[in-house]
Amino acid sequence: TKRSFAIGGFSLEVYHTFEEIVNFTKKIGNHYKIAKYVEIGKTNDGLPLIVIQINESQKNIPKKLRNVSYKPIVMIECGIHAREWISTATCLWIMNDLLKNKSPLLQKYEFHLLPVFNAEGYVYSWTRNRAWRKSRSKNGNLTSNCYGSDINRNFDVEFCQNGASKEMCDSDYCGKKAFSEKESQLLRDYVLRIKNKLSAYFSLHNFGQFWMYPYAYTDIPPKNVKTLVRMHLYLSLFRKDKSSGSSVDWVYKNTDCKIVFAVELRDKGGYGFRLPEKYIKPTATEAWAGIQAVLNNM
């Protein structure tokens, strides 16, 4: 079968180290006029948190579709859990498709993609422990396995309640306090800067193959639940899981963005977090198809 490559011969059908991803995203920013490489900050160990902003110039958009004030922003956040490599690979796939195929969605939306949210954890999952989930912040004088917090339990929304642990060595440890992690702080600050334009927010995970809408910490539905459930017509499967302190719940509660989903990618448990590279293409294409369906029906 034909392999998929981006600029510079970067293969989209293999998993990449953090260094390779940094180099690739810098090339994206240099190669495409409509793409901008942005470092929203650095982790405790000095790794960059990268957002690629993709924004088609208004002059390239047909007059009847132009919005003189601004285009709403769609944000796609990937790699909050270190071991979920398929999430990051899917982000890179979507990024390339938007740019290479000049997606019609660029006439309506500006895209902000965060491919490796948990940069330190991602590096650790490549070098030391493939199954690592959390960040790599130091929790006192503990062993290496007790480092870090689950960034997706570290946001200030029902902090450390359902589906989160107060035990430092647990994989879903919520952290010493809300926003104790540099990564969650950086995303919070970034989202608050763009919140007036933020129109849709997707957080990509694996595994399970289902979509979840806010709120994860309660059975009480959000006010626009009918709109979110209507998206079910275009998507595969909805499910509710109990957790607290997640990025999607925080975004929903602290901005006017009401199209907010956590997306669990392939598979259903056969390979779990170690999804083989041969599944990158089908996983990424179906996830992107689902996101496009949502955006085309907003």
Left if phi > 0, otherwise alpha if psi is -120 to 50, otherwise beta: which for 35? Answer: beta
- The runs of H, that is alpha helices, within the chain are 18-31, 85-100, 119-127, 182-194, 225-230, 247-254, 280-296
CA–CA separation, 281 vs 6, rounded Å?
A: 13
| Strand duo 35-42 + 48-54: pairing | antiparallel
Tokens of 249: 């719940």
Known catalytic membership, residue 13: no
Nearest alpha carbon to residue 98 among 243, 269, 288, 235:
288
Alpha carbon of residue 23 to chain centroid:
19
**Run of H or E including 48:** strand 48-54
Per annotation, catalytic residue among 19, 110, 264, 286: 264
Residues assigned a catalytic role: 264
